[in-house]
Chain A
Amino acid sequence: GENVEQHPSTLSVQEGDSAVIKCTYSDSASNYFPWYKQELGKRPQLIIDIRSNVGEKKDQRIAVTLNKTAKHFSLHITETQPEDSAVYFCAASPLLTGNQFYFGTGTSLTVIP
């Protein structure tokens, strides 16, 4: 089955700096890659996603890049703010039917004011 690895497990940045989180996946059939943000005690919420027919997607300060050949995808957050502090999860979905996500183990991001 699919295996998703995520790095780093913890990340501290100064407010205003950029943060990058990287994930790799193993199943070449994976074609949908969402990123979720989970604040302490709250539900995971989708922040951005990308499909395998796209190499990059941006939404304001957040961007995701996908390299299908190397089987890795990354989350980029620019101009970080304290409210960006949370745990971020990447996921991959290889199925042609249904919604089954294989998640990375998460990155705890701390933005230092």
Chain B
Amino acid sequence: KAGVTQTPRYLIKTRGQQVTLSCSPISGHRSVSWYQQTPGQGLQFLFEYFSETQRNKGNFPGRFSGRQFSNSRSEMNVSTLELGDSALYLCASSPGHPNTEAFFGQGTRLTVV
């Protein structure tokens, strides 16, 4: 079974730009969650999508948004990038039942300059 795939692996963007990150979950998994990882902050929850609907949302500004397609693939968008958005963005897929193991992708390293 293929694992969770995130593209691209690395991105460099300029302040004010927007960016779209992609996540393909494990086949059969219907839940995709997104996390922001920064040094000293650990992993912080952004949002979770299940069956094309946002099921849960963390405490991030509206510049961070996402969506999920019918094949469970998910995208995350960040608009009006700020320097503080530089981080590793991880997505995690799970079957969909509450509180089950989440499998992480390799992440997308976003650098905002």
Contacts and interface: CB of A to CB of B under 8 A. Distances in A.
B55 A89 contact: no
B11 interface: no
Contacts of A60: none
What is the predominant secondary structure among interface residues of chain A facing chain B? loop
Contacts of A43: 4, 90, 104-107
B43 interface: yes
A73 interface: no
A103 B50 CA distance: 21
B98 interface: yes
What is the predominant secondary structure among interface residues of chain B facing chain A? strand
A99 B100 contact: yes
Interface size class of B (residues with CB under 8 A): 20 to 34
A95 interface: yes
B101 A49 contact: yes
Contact of B104 (A44, A51, A95, A98): A44
Interface residues of A, number: 27
Interface string A16-51: 000000000000000110101000001111100101
Interface of B: 4, 31, 33, 35, 40-45, 48, 50, 55-56, 58-59, 90, 92, 94, 98-107
